[in-house]
Structure 1
Amino acid sequence: MNIIITGASSGIGFETALELSLHTGNKIVAIARSANKLRKLLEIAKGINPDCTILPVEFDLVNDDYNVLVPFLKERLGTVDILINNAGALINKPFLETTEQDLGEMLQTNVVSHFKMIKHILPLMQAGSHVVNVGSMGGFQGSVKFPGLAAYSASKAALHILTECLALELAETGIKFNCLALGSAQTEMLETAFPGYQSPVLAFEMGKYIADFAKTGHKFFNGKVLPVAVTTP
């Protein structure tokens, strides 16, 4: 399978890329802003499976030029079977201290970057391909909400609705769109949101779940926002 995953340099994205690299038949483009962390990913993946194919790509989803990225992807992959939009950021700040710039940053990173990625990658996908957006329980309607996360949660809610809209509008293409609204997993982002909280779910466990869902979930779901959480938070 030809797979693209964003936000692959740390946390859940890192672990998902590692899990996918265990299968020698997968060709994985791992995208992130940190070249050093991507090199570490490649080093660890090769240590586990010397025959794996991971192509590290240093790219800023918000600011860099997609007209440079897409020709590279066409050349190295040709077609894309799975796109995992995992990149994201979090601001933890009381609402009255949250600025419009903070909200704009959350929307750019957590929604607009994925919007742009999907738009540019869709021409490389075909019937049976799967787009997986990584959302959050913070943006899941009816879930428990927490102070300080208004901008982050609002941006994730927007990503959830975008997923539903694309599944409907592009149904005739045969490309499936789903979103996993993740609960807590032990990552740096969780520590930022809930300092001192220990999640019962480890990052590698969540990474394995996302990898498995990306490969098979489109056979059972389309246009769904699926909560993946065992605790609150």
Structure 2
Amino acid sequence: MSKNIIITGTSRGIGFELVHLFANQGDNVLALSRNAKPVSNLQFDNISSFAFDLCEKDDYQKVIDFVKNEWKHVDVLINNAGALLNKPFSETSFEDFEHVYRTNVFGVSEMTRVILPFMKKDSHVVTISSMGGIQGSMKFPGLAAYSSSKGAVITLTELLAEEYKETGPQFNVLALGAVQTEMLEEAFPGYQAPTTAQQMAEYVFDFSINGNKYYNGKVLQVSNSTP
């Protein structure tokens, strides 16, 4: 039985790989990113995509309309899109912080809120966080906005799991260590992560389908390295 999957941040990296994994399994995928081109080039009948910006309120209505008209329900939502800023705190402006939080926190919250009415008791919301958002983990200069935003969605996930524990769906969050993506390269030029986007996507893929049988309101640390 094919599932209906929504993934944000699909133009590159883990999100791009996830789209392929689900599509190849025969699931229906709605791939959302500000740049729809990379995914819309793929010749898959079961992939839908359009340009979508988490920071644009009006864009959410496009998603609601699509689900209403095409699917009626959603089995898995993967909040994967993220903004990464590496900048000394003293140089980080109000606008910088706001941009990171609008994408990494408000976007996750609003996407989840508008999709919840279409989710079933055993549907699964998976939010991608970072090891930097884990309390007590090693912290790095320059990541004040990014890592604190990733901490916020961990707590948000715990709260939503509690609020919806009787009715479902399940909410879990994956705190990823360093993954070799274009986003990482832009923030940390020259750093070589031990995990590829393809490898991490395979883990996220499996967890999003099976993880809610065992976990709800949990943060799993998915890292074999410090950053």
TM interval, short-chain normalised: over 0.9
Residue 83 of structure 1 aligns with an amino acid whose one-letter code is L
CA displacement at 1:188 relative to structure 2? 1.1
Do the aligned residues in 2 keep the contact of 1:92 with 1:192 (CA within 8 Å)?
no
CA displacement at 1:131 relative to structure 2? 0.2
Name the residue aligned to 2:108: 114
Name the residue aligned to 2:141: 147
Match of 1:56 among 38, 42, 49: 49
Let me know the Cα RMSD of the aligned residues: 1.1
Match of 1:19 among 14, 18, 21: 21
Q: TM-score, normalised by structure 1?
A: 0.93
Name the residue aligned to 1:4: 6
Structure 2 counterparts to residues 30-69 of structure 1, below 5 A: 30-40=31-41, 42-43=42-43, 46=44, 53-65=46-58, 66-69=60-63
Q: TM-score, normalised by structure 2?
A: 0.95
Residue 190 of structure 2 aligns with an amino acid whose one-letter code is G
Do the aligned residues in 1 keep the contact of 2:133 with 2:150 (CA within 8 Å)?
yes
| Higher deviation after alignment, 67-76 or 138-147 | 67-76
Do the aligned residues in 1 keep the contact of 2:18 with 2:202 (CA within 8 Å)?
yes
CA displacement at 1:182 relative to structure 2? 0.6
Does the residue aligned with 1:129 lie in a helix, a strand or coil? Answer: strand
- Tell me the distance in 1 between the aligned counterparts of 2:122 and 2:31: 21
Name the residue aligned to 1:222: 216
Higher strand residue share: 2
- Tell me the distance in 2 between the aligned counterparts of 1:97 and 1:126: 45
CA displacement at 1:72 relative to structure 2? 1.5
- Structure 1: which 5+ runs fail to align? 47-51
Q: Deviations over 1:2-27 (max 9, x none)?
A: 11001111111101111111112x11
Q: Deviations over 1:166-185 (max 9, x none)?
A: 00111111210000001111
Name the residue aligned to 2:152: 158
- Tell me the distance in 2 between the aligned counterparts of 1:104 and 1:30: 25
Q: Deviations over 1:80-127 (max 9, x none)?
A: 000000011111100111111111111100010111111100000010
Do the aligned residues in 1 keep the contact of 2:54 with 2:102 (CA within 8 Å)?
no
Do the aligned residues in 2 keep the contact of 1:149 with 1:193 (CA within 8 Å)?
no
Do the aligned residues in 1 keep the contact of 2:78 with 2:125 (CA within 8 Å)?
yes
Residue 22 of structure 1 aligns with an amino acid whose one-letter code is N
- Tell me the distance in 1 between the aligned counterparts of 2:50 and 2:204: 21
Name the residue aligned to 2:72: 78
CA displacement at 1:64 relative to structure 2? 4.3
- Correspondence 1:137 to 2:128: no
Does the residue aligned with 1:174 lie in a helix, a strand or coil? Answer: coil
- Tell me the distance in 2 between the aligned counterparts of 1:225 and 1:11: 21
- Tell me the distance in 2 between the aligned counterparts of 1:27 and 1:195: 35
Name the residue aligned to 2:161: 167
CA displacement at 1:193 relative to structure 2? 3.0
Do the aligned residues in 2 keep the contact of 1:138 with 1:153 (CA within 8 Å)?
yes
Does the residue aligned with 1:197 lie in a helix, a strand or coil? Answer: coil
- Tell me the distance in 2 between the aligned counterparts of 1:27 and 1:210: 17
